[in-house]
Chains A and B, each alone.
Chain A
Amino acid sequence: MADKKINSITDLQQLSQTLLDKQKEYKIRVLICMTGCRALGAKDISTKFKQSLKEQKLDNQVIVIETGCIGICAKAPTILIEPFDFLYGSVTPDDVDEIIETTIKNSKPVEKLAVSQNGEKTANINEVEFYKKQKKIVLEKCGRIDPTKIEDAIATGGYLTAVEMLNGKKPQDIIDEMTASGLRGRGGAGFPAGVKWNFCRQAQGDEKYLICNADEGDPGAFMDRAILEGDPHKVIEGMIIAAYAIGATQGFIYVRAEYPIAVEHINIALDQARQLGLLGENIAGSDFNFDIEVRMGAGAFVCGEETALIASLEGQRGMPRPRPPFPAHKGYLDKPTNINNVETLANVPLIIKNGAKWYSDIGTEKSKGTKIFALAGKVNNTGLVEVPMGTTLRQIIFDIGGGVSDGRNFKAAQIGGPSGGCIPAEFLDHEIDYDSVEQLGAIMGSGGLIVTDDRTCMVDLARYFLEFVQSESCGKCTPCRVGTKKMLEILNNICDGNAKPGDLNELEELANTIKKASLCGLGQTAPNPVLSTLRHFRDEYTAHVEQHKCPAGICKELTTFVISAEKCKACGKCIDVCPTEAITGEKKTPHVIIQEKCVTCGACRDVCPFDAVDTE
C-alpha cells in the first residue's frame, strides 16, 4: 500500500487521503491493546476475534487492530470498538462470540464487560469517569491505531507537520514557536524546550546530534514506554522537526532494554519511515538529511542523566560529568547535542501544527500543556492518564483513578520517583504543576504517580528509595557514594528498631549535605524522598524511633499482628495462607496468632475480608 517514496507535501496528502478512504471500507474497528494487556492474555483474544470474524464472514467489514495502551490498565485486557466507542474490560476469549453477536451484529453494548462506576455499568468510553476528566492530546492516537503500521499514522495526519516544516519554514521560526508555547522538558527538570533548542542551534559545530531520552528510569513510570509502543511515529515526527530546527543530521533513541515491545515498535517504525523517504537523505523531497539509530540501555538508572547517557552512547561506563559544558555545546563526540525526553518530543508535532497559542492556553501560568501520569500502586484505576497541568491530585486519584483500592484510606502520593517525594492528603486539592509540586518537597519528575494507603510505611518507603539510589549511584562523587550509604544505614536501623536518639537529625544533616555537594542530579535529588517524608510524616519516624512501633505494620521488627476477636468471623482464610502455621482456631471461634511462630509477613492481614488483623 504505502511503498512509494514521498517526494512532496502533495504526495503525502494524497497518500493520507487514499489510506483514510481505505480505512473507511471497514464499518467496525475492534481495537485490542497488545502492549500492557499482553501480560493478561490479549493475544488469545485477538486470535479468537480474527478467527470468529472469518468464520462468520464478517472480516471484510470488521477489522481487528492490535493497538498500544488504551489507558485503563486496571481493566486489562481491554478492547475498544469503533465507531460505537464501547470499552470492554477484563475480556476473555470466551466473551468474543457474545461481543460479535451483541455489538458487531446488533450495535449494542455487552453490559457485563462494561466498566462499572458508582455501581453502574458504563460502556461508552466517553462517559467513563476515567476518561472524562482527561485531555488526551499526546496520547490521542495511542490505543486507536496500529503502531506497527505507518499507514495508520499517515491516515491520521502523521508526518504532515514535519514535511511542511522542511519545505520552506525557517528553523529559527520553529524554535521561536516552541519557545512561545512554553513547553517544558518532560524528563524531569522542566527546562524550556525551545530555549534548549536555541542553545544547540547557536552552538558552533559542523555536526550536531539529537538524542531522544527513552531510558525512563523512574521505577513506577511507564509513560514513555506507552508512547513508543502506541504511537512511535509521533516521536519520530517530533525528532525530525527538532533536528531540522537545530540543524542535526543524526539522531539516537536511547531506550531501556527492559522495554522489548517499545524497541520492536520503534525499529519497525523507523524502517517504514525510511522506506517512504521520511527519514534518510532528502526527506520527502526536501534538501534535509536526517536519520535515527536505536540504542538500548544496559540496566543503569544513572544513564537517564544526559551526560551519563552520552558516555554510554560512546561505549563508556555511564558516568555523569560536571556541567558546564552542557551537551548543547559539548555532547556526543564532543559535538553540540540536544537531548529531549520522549514525551517532550511527542508534544512537538502538536505544538507546531496547532500553534504556540493553542498549546499555551492549556495548563497553568508557568507550566503549559498536558502531563501524562503513570498511575499505579494502591489505586483502583491503575493506568495511563493525561491531564492538563494544574489538575489537582484529588481529581487524578479519586475522580480519574477511582480512589484508593480495597476501600482503604489514602496516605500519600509519591511523585517524581527516587528524586521526588510524598505528598500527603492535606494537599490533595493543590493544583499540580512543576512549581507547586516543588513547593511541596517533591518534583514533577517524569510522571510516575504512586498512590499509597494506610498500610504503606513511609519510613520503609524512604528506605526503599535510598536503597535504590544507593545501588544505582555510579560511585564517581563521594557525597552520593558514601553519603547515601550512610543514610541507608541509619534508615535500616530505624526500620529494624535499632535507632539511636539523634538519628533523625543526623539523617537531615546528611541529606542536606548530599543535596548540595553531589555531582549530578542523582545525588542532588537522592535525599528528597527522605526529606519529604520527614517533613510530612515525622510522627511516623518518631513512632519507629521512640515507641519502637511501625504504625503501618510493615517493618517486621517493630510489628506485632493480633486478631481482633470482635471482628474475626472465623472464616479460616488466614489459617490457609499463613506460611508458618502460626494461626490457630476452629470454625466459629475467633482465630489467634501464636506470636512465637509469627514471622510478621502480613499474609493474614492481606487476605482477611473483615479487617480483623491489626497491629498491636
Chain B
Amino acid sequence: MAYKPELDIDISLVEAILDRIEQARQVSSSPEVADAHQGRVSSSPQVADARRVGGAAGGKVSGDDLIPILQEIQEAYGYLPRPVLDRVSERTGIPASRMYGVITFYDQFYLEPHGKHNVRCCRGTACHVSGGKKVINSVKSALGIEDGETTGDMLFSMETVTCLGACALSPVMVVDNTYHGRMSARRAEQVLQQLKVEEG
C-alpha cells in the first residue's frame, strides 16, 4: 500500500481495474466461453468476475460491483483519491454521491492517504479483558496520534479494529501484515521503536 500524494495520481491504474472488470462481464454474458474459465487461476481475490452466473448482463459494470471495485482501488492507491472516484463515476455511471454514501458507511475505506506503515490494534472483547487498552494507549503515545490518524511524516497510521480473529493470542496488534500476539504496552512500544529505527 504505497502512499501516493494527490498530485501524481496515476489514473491508468483505475482504468486497468475497470477494463478488466468490464471485460470479465462481457465474457460472462456470452454463454460459449463459460468453459474457458475453468482452468484459470483467479486474477483477483475481490472480483471473481466471469464466473458469476446471475450478475450484470451485457458487459456493464454495475452498482453491484461497487464494493469490490473500491477495495481494488484502495489496494492499488492506498486510499480512495477523489480524481479516481470521479473517473469511476464517469465510466460506470454510478453517481459519486452513492459512492460517498458507501465509502463513509464502511470503516475500511479511507478518503485520505494513509501512512507507509499501518498499525492496527485490536479492541475486541478478548483483547479488552486481557489489557488491550494499555497496548492501544501505548501505541497512541509512541506515535503521538489518535485512533484513525496518520503521523505528520506519513510514516505511520494507527487504527483500532474490533477483532482480528487471533483472540487466543490476545492482546493482538498487526503492523502492516504481521501479527503480534500477547502484546504488552512495553512490547508494542518496542515493535514500533524497531520500525522507527529501520526507517531512520
Query: Could you list which residues of chain A lie within 8 angstroms of chain B, going by C-beta atoms?
Result: 36, 38-40, 73-74, 76, 207, 209, 216-222, 225, 249-250, 257-260, 262-264, 267, 270-271, 274-275, 277, 280-281, 289, 291, 293-301, 312-318, 333, 335, 374-378, 382-384, 414, 417, 448, 450, 452, 456, 461, 464-465, 468, 472, 474, 577, 601-603, 606
Q: Which residue on A lies nearest to B126, using beta carbons?
A: A376
CA distance A331 to B21 in the complex (A): 24
CA distance A264 to B45 in the complex (A): 8
**Can you name 22 A-B pairs with beta carbons within 8 Å?**
A217-B163, A219-B163, A220-B167, A222-B163, A250-B53, A262-B165, A270-B42, A271-B40, A271-B41, A271-B42, A281-B34, A281-B35, A295-B67, A297-B106, A298-B71, A299-B108, A300-B106, A313-B64, A314-B63, A376-B125, A378-B130, A382-B169
A218 contacts across to B, CB distance below 8 A: 125, 163
The answer to whether B125 touches A450, judged by C-beta atoms less than 8 angstroms apart, is: yes
- A74-B168, A220-B124, A221-B163 are known contacts; what are 4 more A-B pairs with Cβ within 8 Å? A249-B54, A291-B53, A299-B108, A603-B185
B104: min CB distance to chain A, Å: 8
Q: Which residue on A lies nearest to B102, using beta carbons?
A: A317
B153: min CB distance to chain A, Å: 25
Q: Could you tell me how many residues of chain B have their Cβ less than 8 Å away from some Cβ of chain A? A: 60
Q: Which residue on A lies nearest to B99, using beta carbons?
A: A315
B51 contacts across to A, CB distance below 8 A: 274, 280, 291, 293
The answer to whether B108 touches A448, judged by C-beta atoms less than 8 angstroms apart, is: no
Q: Which residue on A lies nearest to B141, using beta carbons?
A: A579
Query: Could you list which residues of chain B lie within 8 angstroms of chain A, going by C-beta atoms?
Result: 34-35, 37-42, 45-46, 48, 51-54, 62-68, 70-71, 101-102, 105-109, 122-131, 134, 161-170, 172, 177, 179-182, 185-186
A220-B64 in contact given A74-B168, A270-B42, A299-B161 (Cβ < 8 Å): no
The answer to whether B68 touches A222, judged by C-beta atoms less than 8 angstroms apart, is: no
The answer to whether A333 touches B125, judged by C-beta atoms less than 8 angstroms apart, is: no
The answer to whether A220 touches B125, judged by C-beta atoms less than 8 angstroms apart, is: yes
A464-B125 in contact given A73-B169, A225-B165, A378-B130 (Cβ < 8 Å): yes
B65 contacts across to A, CB distance below 8 A: 315
The answer to whether A417 touches B125, judged by C-beta atoms less than 8 angstroms apart, is: yes
CA distance A414 to B37 in the complex (A): 47
The answer to whether B129 touches A378, judged by C-beta atoms less than 8 angstroms apart, is: yes
The answer to whether B169 touches A414, judged by C-beta atoms less than 8 angstroms apart, is: no
CA distance A465 to B126 in the complex (A): 12
B105 contacts across to A, CB distance below 8 A: 300, 317-318, 474
